A and B are shown apart, each in its own frame.
Chain A
Amino acid sequence: MSMNGQKKFKSQSRSRKVSLGVTYTILVIMGIIWLIPLLWIVLSAFRCQYQPDGTFIGRVTSNFFPKAFGLKNFKDLFSATYYGVPKAFGKWILNTLLIAVIDCIISTFLVMSVAYCMSKLKFKLRKAFMNITMVIGLFPGFMSMIAIYFLLKSIGLSGNPTHPEYSVIGLILAYSAGAGLGFQIAKGFFDVIPNALVESAKLDGCTSFKIFRQIILPLSKPIIIYQALMSFTGPWMDFIFAKVIIGADNARYWTVSVGLYSMLFGTHPDTNLFTQFAAGCVIVAIPIVTLFMFLQKYYVEGVTAGAVKG
């Protein structure tokens, strides 16, 4: 190798090192920016500061790092009475869990069945169904929210004075009923499964049901997990629909996100509740983040499928 070539090689590897260094620096800075707000919520959840006169400081304070740590916020969160409901937080969590599990089962089932039909079955109104779905999807969801509330109220599944718990059924219906219309990502996934597989099974005398159960479903584990993850986490994240359907005065049956949101923006928001809010956020976030981390692979697969097929 000539001197010149060696020099060139050296400078190339140096420039490569420099560019890697720059990349690390940018990524670390970005990582810190991305983590700061989340770190702050966690720190606030464990904050245990008192005024000189002994009162607890629960509001937003100017210091980023707490001066004292403790578990008081978590203890208070589970024992406190919110909106006249004793030990409300635990009830909210159980309530949300119930709603999320049922919604997850119904929604995933509906999405899978519709997506399979749209992708692998040929029938008369297929294109019409797809176009109608697309048009309906273009209306802002909030527009129909109030109409769904009227509808549920007229059949006693929302704002029922004698049975406030029926609102939970109403909310499950509101969450899962339209789920089948969100079939596009799953359809994109099914589209990639070769049609030849279906055709040959048909020639062997398989019914469409058998093909779905024995060929398509075993191949669709990633998309089923993606759908289940999405519909399970939905109720934990929604704070608007749940409040309208369950009702602002029905705090016993709120979901946890409505409860947490109301700690900051309720009818009587107590500004001293911020640290309890943060503690609640940590409790809600831990299981969801864990789920996401475990199922990351499937989530990414779903997102990518959605990107390509729109």
Chain B
Amino acid sequence: MSPQNKAPKKNKISLFERIGKAFSNFGKRFADGSLGTKLSHFIFGAGNFYHKQYIKGLLFLILQVGILAFMIFCPTINGTPYGWKALRNLSLKNVSEGGVFDPATGSFSVGSDCKLMVLFGFVTIAVIVIYFLVWNMNIASSYKADMDKKIGKKPTTFGEDLKELLDSKFHVLMLTPTCIAAAIFTILPTIFMIALAFTTYNSQDMNDLGTNLFHWNGLQNFAAVFTGEGSLGVEIKNRFLPVLGWTFIWAIFATFTCYFGGIILALLINKKGLKGKKFFRTIFILTIAIPQFISLLAVRNLLGEYGPVNSLLQNIGATTQPIGFLGLKTGDSESLAKFMVILINMWVGIPYTMLMTSGILMNIPADLYEAGRVDGASTTKMFFKITLPYVIFITTPYLISSFIGNINSFNTIFLLTGGGPTYTGYQAGGTDLLVTWLYKVTIDQGSYNTGAVIGIFTFLITATITLITYRRSKAYNEEDTFQ
């Protein structure tokens, strides 16, 4: 191990220490700061005005006024308010289906919409967090101007601040668009769906309460795995373990068949003296380039009841009845369908690994083989002792991510079998993975709470695998030394 790796990790302070430091920092700024800084604690931008940084001060003030107005006046979208009312609504109590009749307008006001109440409640919480972040920024900005003054420097002008965005604060400029976009379209939806797992939000229960109404029900949806209660409770209880088990078997087989298949194919194509390397590679890249819904639906129809494969088998007398390769009908063989999807997935996945390992194979140091040859090792031996360990070593991160990718492999199953063979009374068929089941339960059935529970379980599985493997991997621990 190089001494670099042994160097103690700097800035390793505990979370509590950090919080304590932050609080003492606040106190210090209030005590040491100028009048402007003190005022900034209550009126945003006051400190900047004090230091004659008018534009900056105005921006802070506008933000404060805007957010406070948002919180107090509660803008309403589709009859559901934001602001403090949204926080109150998060309890999902006192909701009503029909709106109240308003004699002034002669019409009913819009009734409660619980999903929007939850969504807007979270947006409001995010706005409150933003308020305190801006509050902190405005104090820090004023305090920095104080310090600049103390050492005889002039406080920065707005123009200088903007210029900093292109240099020492460049990351702020570059990351802001992604942070805003991802917060709205990735993080907020994810938190919202996690919350739905603790509600009664599904199309069946909604009929009891009203079309847009639901309430919190704690861990009942998770308990359904054992109790079988709730609208899809029986399904969850009876199908969860089979689906989970198959998801694992699928992920293991799909990962390793494609991985080793790809390595072998890459070795074949890169064999010394073989002509037409590019030609062969192009054939296999075709399956990557063609959208999966095209190639997989082609395979599905090729193997279908009336497709060429079944008629060929019937013509040569191999079978009298069409074979349900993909379990598209109830009563078709589940194991055959499972075998077929793994087989067809090789068709999809092998070219990908082949492409990737081709580059790695060419980079194996030639002197390794030279040494092997001098020692009289056979080709097979060199493959197992040099090639394979080298490739596996380099591609371990890929193996992990492809395993997780396979747990979430939607297209292959959805397009080939649609999860079939189906079982009467259940949504989850024989080849359904957790993700395809999640899709069926949410989109087809409208059981958003059950779907969210399945999603959270999927997350727990992938997160566990990642934590165990990824944190130990070289790529993570030596991220900086690699450069």
Contact = CB atoms under 8 A, between A and B. Distances in A.
A117 B77 contact: no
B290 A23 contact: no
Contact of B435 (A140, A144, A285, A309): A140
A191 B475 CA distance: 12
A260 interface: yes
Contacts of B470: 134, 310
A208 B168 contact: yes
A110 B355 CA distance: 27
Contact of A174 (B168, B185, B265, B482): B185
Contacts of A169: none
Interface string A9-36: 0000000100010011011001101111
Contacts of B448: 146
Contact of A239 (B265, B293, B451): B293
Say which size band chain A's interface belongs to. Answer: 35 or more
B182 interface: yes
A307 B410 contact: no
B177 interface: yes
A300 B190 CA distance: 32
B116 A154 contact: yes
Q: Is the interface of A mostly helix, strand, loop or mixed?
A: helix
Interface string B352-365: 10011111100000
Given A144-B189, A284-B294, A61 B306 contact: yes
Interface centre among A126, A129, A177, A288 (most CB of B within 10 A): A177
Contacts, number: 272
B483 A31 contact: no
A264 interface: yes
B292 interface: yes
Interface string A185-221: 0000001001100000000000111101000000000
B283 A31 contact: yes
A308 B185 contact: no
Contacts of B356: 303-304, 306-307
A178 interface: yes
Contact of A140 (B188, B286, B455): B455
Contact of B400 (A20, A23, A310): A310
Interface centre among A138, A154, A176, A178 (most CB of B within 10 A): A138
A62 B322 CA distance: 11
Q: Is the interface of B mostly helix, strand, loop or mixed?
A: helix
A240 B294 contact: no
Interface residues of B, number: 99
Given A23-B268, A142-B410, A151-B185, A34 B174 contact: no
A68 interface: no
Contact of A293 (B282, B299, B301, B463): B282
B286 A34 contact: yes
Interface stretch (A37-45, A74-82, A85-93, A97-105): A37-45
B189 A148 contact: yes
A30 B297 CA distance: 20
A237 B276 CA distance: 30
A173 interface: yes
A180 B178 contact: yes
A153 to B, nearest CB: 8
A207 B286 contact: no
B170 A285 contact: no
Interface in B132-186: 166-168, 170-171, 173-175, 177-178, 181-182, 184-186
Interface string B26-58: 000000000000000000000000000000000
Interface stretch (B381-389, B390-398, B422-430): B390-398
A71 interface: no
B291 A31 contact: no
B192 interface: yes
A209 B166 contact: yes
Interface centre among B78, B119, B175, B269 (most CB of A within 10 A): B175
Given A33-B347, A62-B311, A281-B294, A180 B287 contact: no
B260 interface: no
Contacts of A136: 182, 186-187, 190
Contacts of B292: 237
Given A34-B284, A34-B287, A264-B297, A309 B360 contact: no
Interface in A51-78: 59-64
26 contacts: A20-B273, A27-B268, A35-B286, A38-B286, A62-B308, A62-B312, A113-B174, A114-B178, A117-B170, A139-B458, A140-B435, A143-B451, A144-B189, A144-B190, A144-B192, A154-B77, A178-B186, A207-B167, A208-B168, A209-B167, A237-B292, A288-B289, A300-B359, A307-B397, A308-B360, A308-B397
